[in-house]
Amino acid sequence: MIKLSNFPIKTLKTRPQISDNISTSILLQAWFIRQTMAGVYNYTTLGLKVLRNIENIVREEMDNYWSSEILMSWLSPMDIWEKTWRADIDEYFKVPTYGDKNYRLNPTHEEIVTPLMTEFINSYKDSWASVYQIQTKYRNEKRAKSWLLRGREFIMKDAYSFHITDEEFVEYYEWMKKVYMKIFERLELLDDTYITLADGWVFTEKYSHEFQVVLPIGEDEIYICDSCWTSHNKEVVDLENWFECTKCKNKDHRIEKASEVWNIFPLETKFTKPFWMKMLDANNKEQDVIMGCYGIGVSRLMWVIAEYNMKDKWIAWPESVAPADYYIIVIWEENIEKAEDFAKKLESKWKTVILDDRMWKKVGFGQKAGDCELFWIPRRIVISPKTLEQWGFEFTKRWEKSEIVNF
Amino acid sequence: MIKLSNFPIKTLKTRPQISDNISTSILLQAWFIRQTMAGVYNYTTLGLKVLRNIENIVREEMDNYWSSEILMSWLSPMDIWEKTWRADIDEYFKVPTYGDKNYRLNPTHEEIVTPLMTEFINSYKDSWASVYQIQTKYRNEKRAKSWLLRGREFIMKDAYSFHITDEEFVEYYEWMKKVYMKIFERLELLDDTYITLADGWVFTEKYSHEFQVVLPIGEDEIYICDSCWTSHNKEVVDLENWFECTKCKNKDHRIEKASEVWNIFPLETKFTKPFWMKMLDANNKEQDVIMGCYGIGVSRLMWVIAEYNMKDKWIAWPESVAPADYYIIVIWEENIEKAEDFAKKLESKWKTVILDDRMWKKVGFGQKAGDCELFWIPRRIVISPKTLEQWGFEFTKRWEKSEIVNF
């Protein structure tokens, strides 16, 4: 339970003016986030709740599909990055220690997870092994952009899978697409999300897949084929010729701005070879191991969901990620105890509650109701002598009419 | 639910020989942790469960006592560290970016939290404000020591409070001691924990308080006065003269090795002054703000609890932090479905379950029961055609006799 009388938050009366980004201004007004420096953020209590709700949805679906959660180190020794020729990438931070030595502040974890998993991946029976973590990543961005969007540090879910054959890998890769669709559905983003064919980047010569959410302020441009719902990142479209859908060969398309929220990469043997990860096949013969990686930008999702659900004055968070389930407004001091009892009852049913028991001057019903809307808590309860006279409280679900409900 | 048939873990048959530290060897044997480099660790699934259980106990008690959880940034600009004369401490990492610029990889968060809170701390009504986070910290240790004990990166809970008067601060400081005692109690460490008077370090000229757990392999030496349970770190004892308890003036004492698991510091105005944090008092006069900080070494606690509860062959985790509540052993393939149903039933009651449904050759009952002990899961359930004949399963609680229980 969050009791606002003990809570060091004050929402701002007016929205800070951030030139091109209203949703971020609302996040600042509601005190969900504060900037330490460009691309580097503090998540204050309610912002952290949203972030954790997103994290937990991702975690539950990964667990449901038998990926095992681990937590890898933030630092690593430089020599493992030399093995994969990624020691000198400018966008990856080096951290000097004593002497001439450096550590790496990990921007991604292929170099950590591959040696880690080599210990117990020995035979085809260990194929289909999958681990994931939810963790901070660091990127030495020259120009940190668009608030949470291109950060110097950000929270990611990154999963890694290991396979004996290409066929098995492809099967897993398709399976993971389904897991991702399930996550999208719970985050209420599914309707405007497209699986987008993109460049393999430094990871692979094949295409990779991005999951793009259509957003007018997105940094990517995608070519959507409406007959098969496939989409193509601008970078893989041959713009000098006609556009042709790689899947259904359709030539019709529309172009939309979009924001990438996750990606999945076939890594082939790019990382398993340098770390000598091998599997014995059914004939006891050593085989190279095929690897895949599957990212989700957890902190980026918070920003994308905010932008996607932005209304005129607030962000209409989907119920699944809203900072709390209930917001209880107490009007008279004498009802605080009753309100607290009721909040505890809700908590015993695993609901989360914000109790607005601020009694000091100037915080009247108007401000309390206003903060409830600014935070966008889906269920509001008002307790007053008047509602108690009728043996109950006033209950309002977002977008619906208030009613008096008995305790 | 963790299904071991889908789980990429194999416990080691024999305990790796780590010279002076048996509990760490057991953590390695049971695949709870793996080292990336000295002082830098990966937490594999079951180790992560223990870590999260410790985290959640800390979180619940901090929330219960009205501290608000936030999550501050990992990186910060160097200029804020110049304001407090902490820019050039060797043990704090600098991270070079483009040009001659550096970022700080935060070793502690006074420099972040003080400007952050200045925004809404204005008057005496905002006094007693308290925020905390659970987050990774980094320290450029010359010699990382004793496995998890002195790490280059570690997980900490750090709380910060802000007060208008010294008296109010002292009141809060004592209150926080009680919160800590409650946490200790839930971690089953209370009997051998001493509040220890220690040096103020770089933070304060006054004494600080450490919470020390008596452990033969601890890195500190504490002087315990058994008549008032106060203890003194060796560093504050005047060894050239007789020991005299600072509290009860008793001269009797015993000396024990111990490990520091947390500390609380009076910070006075050391950080609030450079960042110009002020409060208006009841007479509308500006006053300096008194600040306190309250640390708990979350990842260190995992290691201390392991060492404290180490038996001959395993670590007897307290129930409150054990990696799962139940371990279900399935002996015959035909009973897997029944076992899964039962596991789901337990999960619906918010219990956590490891389902040992490994059916492949060489994983017999002996290895399953052995892994259950090595992981130290407090409740074991065996399902077999024999137990089902009697319409039930065999239930064993740690240290107690098995019995047949009906479904």
SS (H, E, C) chain B: CEEHHHCCCCCCCCCCCCCCCHHHHHHHHCCCEEEEECCEEEECHHHHHHHHHHHHHHHHHHHHCCCEECECCCEEECHHHHCCCCCCCCCCCEEECCCCCEEEECCCCHHHHHHHHHCCCCEHHHCCEEEEEEEEEECCCCCCECCCCECCEEEEEEEEEEECCHHHHHHHHHHHHHHHHHHHHHCCCHHHEEEEEECCCCCCCCCEEEEEEECCCCCEEEEEECCCCEEEEHHHCCCCCCCCCCCCCCCCCEEEEEEEEEEEEEEECCCCCCCCCEEECCCCCEEECEEEEEEEEHHHHHHHHHHHCECCCCECCCCCCCCCCEEEEECCHHHHHHHHHHHHHHHHCCCCEEEECCCCCCCCHHHHHHHHHHHCCCEEEEECHHHHHCCEEEEEECCCCCEEEEC
What is the overall mean pLDDT for chain A? 90
- Report the pLDDT averaged over residues B265-287: 95
How much is the pLDDT for A200?
Answer: 60
DSSP annotation of A67 reads P
Provide, as residue numbers in chain A, all residues whose Cβ is less than 8 Å from the Cβ of B48: 69-71
User: CB-based contact (8 Å) between A239 and chain B?
Assistant: no
Q: Are A237 and A253 in contact (CB under 8 A)?
A: no
Q: What is the pLDDT of residues B96-110, one digit of tens each?
A: 999 999 999 999 999
If contacts are CB pairs under 8 Å, which of residues 78-137 in chain B contact chain A?
93-98, 103, 105, 112, 116-117, 119-121, 125-126, 129-131, 136
**How many CB atoms are closer than 10 A to CB A107?**
18
Token pair for B316: 């007897």
Q: Are A133 and A150 in contact (CB under 8 A)?
A: no
- Report the pLDDT averaged over residues A281-302: 95
Identify the CA nearest to B73 among candidates B133, B150, B118: B133
- Quote the CA–CA distance of B6 and A327 in Å, as a whole number: 41
Provide, as residue numbers in chain A, all residues whose Cβ is less than 8 Å from the Cβ of B153: 73-75
Chosen CATH of A2-7+324-406 out of 3.90.1150.10, 3.40.1360.10, 3.40.800.10, 3.40.50.800: 3.40.50.800
**How many CB atoms are closer than 10 A to CB B86?**
17
Q: Is a pLDDT exceeding 70 seen at residue B148?
A: no
- Report the pLDDT averaged over residues A237-242: 68
How much is the pLDDT for B400?
Answer: 76
- Quote the CA–CA distance of A145 and A219 in Å, as a whole number: 10
Task: Enumerate the β-bridge partners of residue A263.
Answer: A210, A295
How much is the pLDDT for B227?
Answer: 83
Query: Confidence band (pLDDT; 50, 70, 90) for B133?
Result: very high
Query: Confidence band (pLDDT; 50, 70, 90) for A391?
Result: confident
Q: Are B375 and B23 in contact (CB under 8 A)?
A: no
- Quote the CA–CA distance of B273 and A200 in Å, as a whole number: 51
Identify the CA nearest to B365 among candidates B329, B404, B397: B329
Query: Confidence band (pLDDT; 50, 70, 90) for B147?
Result: low
- Quote the CA–CA distance of B233 and B219 in Å, as a whole number: 11
What b/e readout covers A329-351, taking b as 16+ CB neighbours within 10 angstroms?
bbbeeebbeebbebbeebeeeee
ipTM score of complex: 0.94
Over its C-alpha atoms, chain B yields an Rg (Å, rounded) of: 25
Cβ neighbourhood burial of A170 (10 Å; 0-12, 13-18, 19+): middle
The Cα of B221 is separated from the nearest Cα of chain A by a number of Å equal to 29
Q: What is the pLDDT of residues A183-209, one digit of tens each?
A: 999 999 999 998 888 876 544 556 688
Q: Are B105 and A95 in contact (CB under 8 A)?
A: yes
What is the overall mean pLDDT for chain B? 90
What does each C-alpha distance from A254 to A214, A216, A245, B109 come to in angstroms? 12, 14, 11, 48
How much is the pLDDT for B240?
Answer: 65
Helix-then-strand count for chain A, H and E: 9, 22
Identify the CA nearest to A7 among candidates A279, A375, A264, A349: A375
User: CB-based contact (8 Å) between B344 and chain A?
Assistant: no
Interface probe, candidates B28, B44, B155, chain A, greatest A C-beta count within 10 A: B44
Non-local (6+) Cβ contacts of B240 within 8 A are: none
How much is the pLDDT for B313?
Answer: 87
User: CB-based contact (8 Å) between B74 and chain A?
Assistant: yes
Q: At what angle do helices B166-186 and B45-64 cross, to 10 degrees?
A: 140
Identify the CA nearest to B292 among candidates B191, B184, B188, B203: B203
Coil vs helix vs strand at A359:
coil
Coil vs helix vs strand at A254:
strand
| pLDDT above 90 as % of chain B | 67
Token pair for B99: 């040009």
How much is the pLDDT for A62?
Answer: 97
User: CB-based contact (8 Å) between A72 and chain B?
Assistant: yes
Provide, as residue numbers in chain B, all residues whose Cβ is less than 8 Å from the Cβ of A3: 66
Q: Are A42 and A33 in contact (CB under 8 A)?
A: yes
Q: Is a pLDDT exceeding 70 seen at residue B273?
A: yes
How much is the pLDDT for A131?
Answer: 97
How much is the pLDDT for B49?
Answer: 97
- Report the pLDDT averaged over residues A127-146: 90
* C-alpha dihedral sign at B317, B323, B328, B333: negative
Q: Are A253 and A245 in contact (CB under 8 A)?
A: yes
Query: Confidence band (pLDDT; 50, 70, 90) for A271?
Result: very high
The verdict on a CB contact (< 8 Å) between B8 and A95 is: no
Token pair for A140: 């030495």
Q: What is the pLDDT of residues A37-86, one digit of tens each?
A: 988 999 999 999 999 999 999 999 999 999 999 999 999 999 999 999 99
What does each C-alpha distance from B283 to A341, B127, B261, B286 come to in angstroms? 37, 15, 41, 9
The Cα of B195 is separated from the nearest Cα of chain A by a number of Å equal to 28
Q: Are B304 and B215 in contact (CB under 8 A)?
A: yes
The helix (H) or strand (E) run that includes residue A138 is: strand A129-138
Non-local (6+) Cβ contacts of B55 within 8 A are: B134, B155, B157, B298
All CATH 3.30.930.10 domain ranges in chain B, comma separated: 32-308
How much is the pLDDT for B280?
Answer: 96
Q: What is the pLDDT of residues A336-382, one digit of tens each?
A: 999 999 999 999 999 999 999 998 767 899 999 999 999 999 999 99
- Report the pLDDT averaged over residues B5-19: 84
The helix (H) or strand (E) run that includes residue A405 is: strand A403-406
Provide, as residue numbers in chain A, all residues whose Cβ is less than 8 Å from the Cβ of B152: 75, 103
Over its C-alpha atoms, chain A yields an Rg (Å, rounded) of: 25
Token pair for B343: 């596991």
In B, minimum Cα distance to A125 occurs at: B360
How much is the pLDDT for A239?
Answer: 64
In A, minimum Cα distance to B36 occurs at: A76
Non-local (6+) Cβ contacts of B16 within 8 A are: B25, B28, B29
Domain A32-308: homologous superfamily in CATH: Bira Bifunctional Protein; Domain 2 (3.30.930.10)
Q: In this structure, what is the dihedral angle of CA atoms B194, B200, B206, B207, given to the nearest 10 degrees?
A: 10
Coil vs helix vs strand at A396:
strand
Token pair for A369: 């109701």
The verdict on a CB contact (< 8 Å) between A40 and B9 is: no
The verdict on a CB contact (< 8 Å) between B93 and A98 is: no
Give the CA angle between residues A77, A83, A85 to the nearest 5°: 100
User: CB-based contact (8 Å) between A363 and chain B?
Assistant: no
All CATH 3.40.50.800 domain ranges in chain B, comma separated: 2-7+324-406
Strand residues in A21-128 grouped as ranges (E):
33-37, 40-43, 68-69, 75-77, 94-96, 102-105
The verdict on a CB contact (< 8 Å) between B7 and A116 is: no
The better pLDDT of the pair A205, B147 is held by B147
How much is the pLDDT for B74?
Answer: 96
Find the farthest-apart pair of alpha carbons in chain B and give their distance in angstroms, rounded.
Answer: 80
Q: Are A72 and A112 in contact (CB under 8 A)?
A: yes
The verdict on a CB contact (< 8 Å) between B42 and A72 is: yes
How much is the pLDDT for B230?
Answer: 80
Q: Is a pLDDT exceeding 70 seen at residue A238?
A: no
Q: Are A44 and A9 in contact (CB under 8 A)?
A: yes
Q: What is the pLDDT of residues B158-202, one digit of tens each?
A: 999 999 999 999 999 989 989 999 999 999 999 999 888 887 654
**How many CB atoms are closer than 10 A to CB A14?**
7
How much is the pLDDT for B9?
Answer: 79
Non-local (6+) Cβ contacts of A241 within 8 A are: none
Identify the CA nearest to B323 among candidates B60, B32, B21, B7: B32
